[in-house]
Every structure is written in structure tokens, then in C-alpha cells.
A and B are shown apart, each in its own frame.
Chain A
Amino acid sequence: DAKTTQPTSMDCAEGRAANLPCNHSTISGNEYVYWYRQIHSQGPQYIIHGLKNNETNEMASLIITEDRKSSTLILPHATLRDTAVYYCIVRANNNAGNMLTFGGGTRLMVKP
């Protein structure tokens, strides 16, 4: 799986959009971009994933650049409960066995 690079930490004001970047310059054609988050020491929670088109669900939006070398997770109206570590993961579509390889993630702090 391709390696990802994320900032170690970010702050965001409550009610504002949180934009979390991720670089994956070595991504290959069959690799998807996944985002998970981990609140305190709870189990990681799936947020969203995509291949090359932008994606949106009830939690977030995922913007993938045209060359697919980077992406941005957008939480449109961050709340205090969105404070968590956010992991950007690139996983091959045919990676049947090794489920997910987690990096260091971005620690997002949402402040009042």
C-alpha cells in the first residue's frame, strides 16, 4: 500500500470547516483513499473513501486531486465531538488480506 503523509496536528474553531490534508504521491491506479478517525482510545471509525471522484456522505466530504497525489477530508461544521485523530489510508482494491495500514494520523482539536 502507498505511504501517506499527514500533518501531526491541527486546530479548528467550533462551527467552522475542518480541512485535513493528506499526501499520497506514490498512490497507484487501483488504490483507494480511506479516512478513519479515532476518538480518544475508542475503536477507529470509518468516515469515507474514494478512488478519484470527490465523495460526500453525512459525515464528511473527500476531495481528491486530479493527479490523485493528495486529498483533503472536509468536516463542514466541526463540533467539539469531532476532536479526534484522523487517519488517511491508501489501500489497494485487490488487497484482500492486509486490511488497513495506519500511519500517525492528524490530531484535530476543535476549540470552542
Chain B
Amino acid sequence: DTEVTQTPKHLVMGMTNKKSLKCEQHMGHRAMYWYKQKAKKPPELMFVYSYEKLSINESVPSRFSPECPNSSLLNLHLHALQPEDSALYLCASSLGLSEKLFFGSGTQLSVL
């Protein structure tokens, strides 16, 4: 299995909703990442987890809350989002912190 699987593929939510994005990999990778990509823009790093511990938070607003319950799973909990948070959210993983990244297909999020 050489895939990073993200669910759901599409999500529409209101500004008062609470939702979660899920990312899963079974490649034994110990580093996992969340990236945000606005339309027609490059991806921007949000969070990095290494060995299930949060290593990097790129000054992301607290309405985004990451969670790494185990080495294969990475969640992104969403609460009280704004319409400008609408974007493609990409999960990635790597064997170690300095290894190449494998990306999932992303969750296309629309906040109404």
C-alpha cells in the first residue's frame, strides 16, 4: 500500500458547524503533514506531526485543530470556519522528517 487516503473528498459546511477531515496511510511513515491550497495557489504548510507529536504549527488559527491518534492516522478538526477557509486540504506523509512526501488527493472544503 503506497497511498495516502483522505476522506471525505468533498465537504460543505456552515460557519457554525464542526467537522473533521481524516487522513490515513499504511506505509509505516512516521511524519504526517497538513497543507492548505487555495484555488490557483501553491500548497502552504499548516502542521507537521513526527512520531505522533505535533512538531510544527505554522501559526494556524485555533479553529483548525489537528490530532494524530496513532502513527497511521491524522485528523483535522474544524470549528467555526470562515468562508475564506474554503480550500483544498492536502495530507501528506513521509518516512522521516527529511524524506520525500507522499500526498493524498485532498479534501475540497467549501465554507458557506
Chain B binds chain A: no
**Which residues of B pack against A, CB within 8 Å?**
none
